[in-house]
Structure 1
Amino acid sequence: MKNFLQDKNSLTYAEKVHRFQHLNELNTRAKLKMLHATLNFEPSEKLSNTQLADITDRYMQGLQMQDHPYLVYRHQDAKHPHVHIVASLIRSDGTRVNTHLMAPRLSEPTRKAIEQEFSLQPSQQKQRIRIPPIEAVQKIVPGDNIPVTQAMDRILGAVNRHYHFANLHEYNAILRAYNVTAETGSPGSKTHLHKGIYYTALDDHGNKISPPVMASQLTSRPTLSRLNEKFHQPAVNYMDNLSSIRQRIDWALDQQPETLRELLTHLQADAIEIVTPPRNGRNPHDYVYVDHRTRTAVTGNILGPAYTTSAVTAGLTQHHRTPQHKQSQQQPDSSKFNSNTPQLLSALLHTDPGGPGPDPYQQDLGHAPRRKR
């Protein structure tokens, strides 16, 4: 915390907000009034709070905002040390800081200078990453030592290269197996208005365990514009892949499974996983079949009327079960799972206890967009 009248230990959250609001009210014309930046460091860099404060002060000096009141939060949720900076862009005389091309004009030169002055490892953001084979990619696990952004880069690079998908639902169905989800923001949000996309790490229950990471912050560059190109460029053997998926679903149904669990067991033996839509009803879609043999994700309604959620459910054998018994066997217990994310049907049908809850760090994220070091 810098340039506040009170001591940081006695300053309440309401007083912090009031200080920013007072400055913002001095300029009624500006639309963007807050700066939210992050400074990110390599996991091997063991920096003290004093060092992080000095680096932050140097960064704000580089942005020519050293006299503005700003808050600094140290955060470790992404498995690498980083700080969040929140500041008002409105000066005490009511004028606004010029943010036009601030990143190349001020932020990037300051970042390079800080790396030299504080003997930090150079940023690797612009380097091209080596995309691993899909077999070498592991899902994100809470508490793992691998930085979240690094794990995401490997997962997204491999999935985008090796899997075929035709829409965001199918894309998320694949990512769910790796504990990642992609979101384009709620209607009216800056991300949605600017056609952006961000990624968040999940635990096995679909709860978020990291802050959102914008596609532009990842070296694999899984932006929405690139995804849209992939959506409209089906693989050469796409129709053959769909035919193979239909045949294997038909075979599984021919075994006359009596429950979803039995059907899923047959499909998993043939390398097919089923992913259900979020249960909050905001992004409804049919079951998504993820075929790890042909590396294709496809919704049931694309495969045909016989493969939709309702058709498959209705086709399950009923003559050995009473309706009450069948309902109790088939209804998955999803009480431990996040209703905002797609879920692997295998996880819903084989629930296990535990799993951390959502990341509690949300209080100041809404002040303004981030700017990465």
Structure 2
Amino acid sequence: MVAKISVGNSLYGALAYNGEKINKDEGKLLATNRIFDAGTGKVDISRAADDFRNCMPAHVRTRNTVIHISLNPHPDDKLTDVELENLAHEYMEKLGYGNQPYMVYKHEDINRHHLHIVSLNVDEKGKRLNKDYLFRRSKRITRDMEQRYGLHTAERSRRSSREPVQKVDTAKGDIKKQVASTVKSLAVSYRFQSMGEYRALLSLYNVTVEEARGEVDGREYHGLVYSATDDKGSKVGNPFKASRIGKSAGYEAIAERLITSKEQIKEKDFTVPTKRTVLAVLNRTFRRDEFVKMLKEKGIDTVLRETDTGRIYGATFIDHRTGCVLNGSRMGKELSANALQEHFTLPFAGEQLLPFTLPAESAAQDAPQQTAVSGYEEPDNSLGLFTSGSSGTDAAEDAFARELKRKKKKKNQRKI
């Protein structure tokens, strides 16, 4: 059994999403807790919203007051409505939400029947419930229920076992279908904590997104608009509203994804492996193209945003190993845009290192052949480019050294 948890602030939106499915006979209302149920098989969405609001103060400091949970048994588990209802009650009790108001819906609009549970994330006093290790506790609960009730294990499949996401190719036609397929897959498969990180992820697959805000009949609305792009990032074709793609690509779904991603990344320390890999590669090269190539070979794509003059003003790393999108500055100052710009524009960055040979005396002692150095492993150490007697020494420095010797010789002769 897989449990997907989202926290947000749109109570009516969560209730309407589930209630409309029930009212369209695409599911059933299996149970309620501290919420009125008329027993008609239909859902009074407005009445339910009022009941939920009566269970918390009018003004609370916690922004994300709503928790929306999806419980997905394995398709091979043929469970009755009573069994599903009991699983939902037990899950909420063990998660710490047993005394909270909640509604349990069964969705039947697809072959894989599953449950949705809407509840509050604050108590009657407006205090946020304990969310520490929420996802980890949820996983332990579902595993325990699988073992005790003999259910099939339904772990979420890894991205590597899925069909790879393809770049949008306008030459293939049906751009809307391509964009929709790409966006739906990326929106649920990766973790990102800002719209900038989400936009960087989409850019890898020739898609971009913009926020649309406005006011209709005195009510403010927010929306997302997606567009296909070419390999240079320029928009091509007509844009598409998120509503034409699906709820998983909409403003509310992405906003919730930002919140859950932040919690998961913090809880599981997903920044650690990415930062370690990026720093290791950065310490091996001062060349921007080589840096990007080496990271890609390790499963990390790099999106560098640059001005018209080529200056880096933003850097985002997409780690396909962990499914996380991380802004460079989020991982530390050493990976911020300014730090990377400085790193890649050092005087010797982008230049071929000069070879040098050991002096004759050293060569006789250490090795019979000339030794050439064309690279380096540790850029923090001395590069050895100005070693006395090396063939890489600048001609002007040689002339200066000879002039010093000549003056010193004359001075000694005068003393004699």
TM-score by length of 1: 0.45
More strand by share: 2
Query: With CA pairs under 8 Å and 6+ residues apart, which has the higher RCO, 1 or 2?
Result: 1
Whichever of the two has the greater Rg, that structure is 2
